[in-house]
Structure 1
Amino acid sequence: MNITKNKSVLTLMALAMGTIFLTSCGEDKKEKEEQDATVKQVNAIDTPAVSLITVTKGKLNSSISVPGELIPYQEVNLYAKVNSYVKKLMVDIGSEVHKGQLLATLEAPEINSQLASAKSKIEQQKAVYFASKATYDRLVNTSKTPGTISQNDLEQAEAKKNSDAANVEAAKSDYAGVAANLNYLEIRAPFDGVITQRNVNPGAYVGSGGNGNVPLFVVQDQKRMRLVISIPESSTGGLNNKDKVTFSVRSIPNKKYTAQVVRLAGALDEKLRSERLEMDVYNKNKELLPHMFAEVDVPLPSRDSTLIVPKSAVVTSTEKVFVITVIDHHAHWVDVKKGIQSGDNTEVYGDLKSGDKIIKVATDEIRDGQIVKDN
């Protein structure tokens, strides 16, 4: 009995020791796995795996959308030069007119009296001239007899004749000046266009003492208009007068119009820091109206071959803008400037060359000089 009892005790003790051993081994294995996972995480942080791409050269074509305005190719305000009354109006708002067409006639009775006075002055000066000329001619004939007329009297008579002749010409000039005012009593169209404003009625007193700075008519050339836009400084580099733009207006949203760049300011506006561009738009069917706003798509073609990288490779931090090159498994920050962007790619300018390896998805968490490994 004692022997059997002792064997049972020994067996239980052996089982207990085995259980303790196995439990200890399991805990050691779990702890080792946790340590290995921690080491891997630390190594992953210290040596991140990255995807590399090669810097290439190429050209990007991009575009920007800017607001624009349609303005008449020509627009003029017509005023009355002389104080007068509106006698008759031949056109109204919306009338199509042609160059030289009579738009209105004015009347100024005082001009007629001034004209008559100027004409009388001419006749008066002519009479004085004819009298002095006759005197001079008689003196010349008399002077042919020696000793009858002194040379001084002859010279004075000639001077008087010439002076009176000059007065006749001055009177004629005064008459022409007054007569020219008659032309200002007719308001004519300076070019083909449309009357967009009529601010007077028959009988109205116009001129500097009348309606002041209010024009009688406003005439616009609407068959040809200017599309005016302002391009930001950063986008002015590659544009020239061979580029074409597309635009749309709110009143016809489903239609796209095309226009060619014709005029570039060649300078930046001091306030907006932008360059003014103008395109000629032909509007024969009058779909477009002056002073409409337009949404304009402006192409920004790259003129030179530049370095192209994915947008994800460019890091914009609070410190700088850079890409990360990898040389001998070490990361290096390279300062760059961004150019035209198109799709997922962008131009960059900096201390890079074609063939350099850079990180495809870069972040400022990858520090300068840090060891990295290829993914």
Structure 2
Amino acid sequence: MKNLIYIALLASVFIFTGCAYSEKEPKEEKNMEKEAAMMNPFETIAVQKINPLVILKLAGELLPDQSTELFAKVNSYVKNIRVDIGDRVVAGQVLMTLEAPEIQSQVATAKAKLKAQRAVYLATLATYDRMVNANQTEGAIAQDAMDQIAARKLSDQAQLAAAESAYSEIKNIDDYLVISAPFNGIITDRNVDLGAYVGPMGKSPLLVVQNNQKLRLNISIPEANTPFIKLGDTIQFYVRSQPQHKYFAQISRKSGSLDLKLRSEKVEADFINTNHVLKPFMIAETQIPLQNSEATFFVPKSAIVDSNMGMYVIAVEAGKAKKIPISKGRVISDRVEVVGDLTENDVILKLGNEEIQEGTPIPNK
């Protein structure tokens, strides 16, 4: 009795699972199967050229127009922080100051050496000038003495130039202790506090500055659709957090090359982010118009056979089947743009079938 109950339970589970699975099948797939089942397997249509406006729907990403991570250039301590997350800044504004006692000590030493060497050079230059003036009287100064003071002046002048170079170099390093904004933007991240030890080998940036006044809508266009994308075209999009609002961006840049993995071209469209209504890195659902310059062939999706031998449609010539290789382009509802050895009013099977071989007789309707 227990075994019978167990078997009955298992049977009910399988029946329920089967029902659940069938309910999850996409309605569109069911409809296509029903249409294919009802369709005459040898129904034919005449191909015609049309030039519709095709809307390509793709997901894109909004990126800031400019984004920079600011790091410390020298080992130092955070002395002062003047901004925080969300603060708006302008180019050149001081955001943070650092402190490095060793570097500041080196700057003071280099400055003192420069002053000392300048004093030595000025003294030597004064002696040289007096001896030159005195040498105007013939025989007043020995030539050997003139040569020695001239060489000394050149030596002290070279040492002064070296001291100036050393001071300038160490002073530039001292300037690294001031972190300034590279452009107008907003502080989007801060990873340090007062007194923190920072350096050029740090993994996290001190601050992140982004220019969100203008956003770049980044899209990858499939290879088949790249010929229809032009600079200046307008793209309509919405973001998932605000599906009720429609926005528009203008295509400003095309990479001119395909990505090796996706076989797609990177395209960027500019969006002026008035009142900062959108945020960087939002996902945008786009609608891109694809208009050809001339009419092309569109055939039903069901007419295309995609087999191991390639992609083709089956034409009917003299009552027999003929495979015509094609490549796919744009898609509109139940039709696909095809390129191949087709001419206007060629007759093809509306329902392609891999089992129909070259030369198979096709009965009339």
Q: Which residue of 2 aligns with 1:206?
A: 198
What is the 5 A alignment of 1:282-361?
Answer: 282-361=272-351
Q: Which residue of 2 aligns with 1:85?
A: 77
Superimposed CA distance per residue, residues 46-68 of structure 1 (whole angstroms, 9 cap, x where no aligned partner): xx995543332222433443332
Q: Which residue of 2 aligns with 1:257?
A: 247
Superimposed CA distance per residue, residues 218-245 of structure 1 (whole angstroms, 9 cap, x where no aligned partner): 1111221222222233332322223332
Instruction: Select the structure of larger CA radius of gyration.
Output: 1
d(CA) in 2 for partners of 1:302, 1:151: 90
Q: What do you get for the CA RMSD once the two structures are aligned?
A: 2.8
Superimposed CA distance per residue, residues 131-182 of structure 1 (whole angstroms, 9 cap, x where no aligned partner): 3334433443454454565545423321221221232233233333333344
1:116 to 2:108 alignment = yes
One-letter amino acid matched to 1:172: E
One-letter amino acid matched to 2:58: V
One-letter amino acid matched to 1:224: K
Among 128, 138, 145, the residue aligned to 1:136: 128
Q: CA deviation at 1:198?
A: 1.5
One-letter amino acid matched to 2:96: A
d(CA) in 2 for partners of 1:364, 1:265: 39
Is the Cα contact below 8 Å between 2:189 and 2:207 reproduced in 1?
A: yes
What is the SS of the residue equivalent to 1:236? helix
Q: Which residue of 2 aligns with 1:197?
A: 189
What is the 5 A alignment of 1:1-375?
Answer: 50-147=42-139, 149-208=141-200, 212-364=202-354, 366-375=356-365
Distance 1:271 1:141, change over 3 A: same
Is the Cα contact below 8 Å between 1:67 and 1:229 reproduced in 2?
A: yes
One-letter amino acid matched to 2:170: V
Distance 1:201 1:364, change over 3 A: closer
Ranges in structure 2 where 5+ consecutive residues have no aligned partner:
1-39
Q: CA deviation at 1:322?
A: 2.8
Is the Cα contact below 8 Å between 1:60 and 1:340 reproduced in 2?
A: no
Normalised to the residue count of structure 1, the TM-score between the two structures is 0.76
Is the Cα contact below 8 Å between 2:107 and 2:174 reproduced in 1?
A: no
One-letter amino acid matched to 1:334: I
Q: CA deviation at 1:188?
A: 1.8
Q: CA deviation at 1:120?
A: 2.1
Normalised to the residue count of structure 2, the TM-score between the two structures is 0.78
Decide which moves more: 219-228 or 164-173: 164-173
Q: CA deviation at 1:197?
A: 1.3
What is the SS of the residue equivalent to 1:224? strand
Ranges in structure 1 where 5+ consecutive residues have no aligned partner:
1-47
d(CA) in 2 for partners of 1:346, 1:202: 62
